[in-house]
């Protein structure tokens, strides 16, 4: 009997699919929240579901830019609410995950990440 472990397509050999690439590039743009919502509407569903966007960004963070748990807990602490305009929990989570990608160095991403012209 042979045990076969199946992995998601984008984790085989470090390959990044195009949709992951679009989400990461949206996180690195000037108006990141609007652009992330736009990518979600274009490829998933026309009505924005913040919980679904949070799960997508969390999966990307787990694969490409892990956040230390202490940082995540500190950012979600009620004493740090002044950093966010919104009071929606999922939107705060999205903004924390977006900021994690925004400040991530491009050379820490896989080689098949398509870099914008200004980073080449």
Residues 60-79: tens digit of each pLDDT: 888 887 888 788 778 777 77
Nearest-CA neighbor of 56 among 19, 31, 87, 30?
A: 19
- pLDDT for residue 7: 44
Give DSSP secondary structure letters for 71-116: HHHHHHSGGGGGG-S---HHHHHHHHHHHHHHTS-GGGS-TT----
Q: Answer whether residue 4 shows pLDDT above 50.
A: no
- Distance, CA of 58 to CA of 46 (rounded, Å): 21
pLDDT band at 35 (very low <50, low <70, confident <90, very high): very high
Nearest-CA neighbor of 16 among 114, 117, 120?
A: 114
Q: What are the boundaries of each domain within the chain? A: 17-105
**Mean pLDDT across the stretch 98-102?**
86
Mean pLDDT for the chain overall = 77
Between 62 and 5, the higher pLDDT residue = 62
């Amino acid at each position: 009997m042979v045990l076969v472990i199946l992995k998601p397509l984008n984790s085989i050999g470090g390959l990044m699919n195009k949709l992951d690439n679009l989400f990461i590039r949206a996180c690195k743009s000037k108006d990141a929240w609007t652009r992330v919502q736009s990518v979600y509407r274009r490829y998933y569903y026309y009505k924005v579901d913040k919980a679904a966007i949070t799960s997508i960004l969390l999966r990307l963070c787990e694969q490409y830019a892990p956040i230390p748990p202490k940082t995540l807990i500190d950012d979600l602490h009620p004493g740090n609410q002044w950093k966010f305009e919104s009071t929606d929990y999922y939107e705060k989570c999205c903004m924390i995950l977006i900021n994690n990608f925004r400040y991530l160095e491009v050379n820490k991403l896989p080689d098949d990440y398509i870099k914008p012209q200004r980073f080449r």
